[in-house]
Amino acid sequence: MNITDQIVLVTGANRGIGRQFVLELLDRGARTVYATARRPDTLEFDDPRVVPLRLDLLDHDSIVAAAAVAQDATIVVNNAGISTGAALVSGDPAELRREMDTHFWGTLDVVREFAPVLSANGGGAIVNVLSALSWFSSPGAGGYAAAKAAAWNMTNGVRLELSDQGTLVQGVHLGAADTDLMVDYDGPKIDPRDVARRSLDGLAAGSIEVIVDDWSAMVKASLAGDPAVFYARMTELLATS
């Protein structure tokens, strides 16, 4: 899939990975980029091809309204997300539900509303920005990891359901990126622009899964092994990060 002249909607486009997706899409010749955020006034792009839209993953009506405007979309990038830090056993249940409502239900809501749009425009693609935490958990990220795990398998299911309409569904996995979401993390972080680059390179190659960094590759490779060995190693790595 060549990005030139594509019409793309990006969620959570006001900062971090979402903003870098918008910039990379513009550099690759996208015709229009619908940049969305809960507060469109926070979107700062100096390019006439960028169309700001309000989209809140917890507000179904805002998703419907965005889909009504972006009827010409050919690619949807589901990037928006949160991290509450709520613990699974002792954390606030409302915060845990907010994690799941955002990453699973909110992302699925976008997919459901835009699937007919993409079908009408020839199939196109959906990109779901996931995480290495789709495949493991760590202290302080239990709720986030559970929600991303749900989003990962939802991505797999959606891919099967939309294959007949010619929609490529891509899952993107990364460790820590240098964004506001990870500001308190002291370990190594990748450039968020690399996430956009690798994802769009993957679309060009028809890749349904993109592993952005060595951390994610290591986690995925460990899944066939003994989880006791893996978590002992992860405890060691996190203690030194």
Q: Tell me the per-residue pLDDT of 46-81, one tens digit each, with 9 for 90 and over.
A: 999 999 999 999 999 999 999 999 999 999 999 999
- Which pLDDT score, from 0 to 100, does residue 1 have? 86
Here the tokens at position 78 are: 């589901």
Q: What is the mean pLDDT of each run of 10 residues along the chain (241 residues)?
A: 96 95 98 97 95 98 98 98 93 97 98 98 98 91 95 98 98 75 57 93 97 92 92 79 59
pLDDT score recorded for residue 148: 97
Torsion of CA 194, 11, 217, 100, to 10 degrees: 150
Note the CATH number of domain 7-239: 3.40.50.720
Whether the Cβ atoms of residue 189 and residue 182 lie closer than 8 Å to each other = yes
Q: What is the pTM of this model?
A: 0.92
The pLDDT value given to residue 200: 98
DSSP state of 42: G
- Per-residue pLDDT, 188: 61
Integer Cα distance of 199 and 193 in angstroms: 10
- Residue ranges of domains in the chain: 7-239
Residue 84 to residue 14: CA distance in whole angstroms: 19
Contacts of 36 (CB under 8 A, 6+ apart): 9, 10, 11, 12, 13, 52, 53, 54, 55, 66, 80
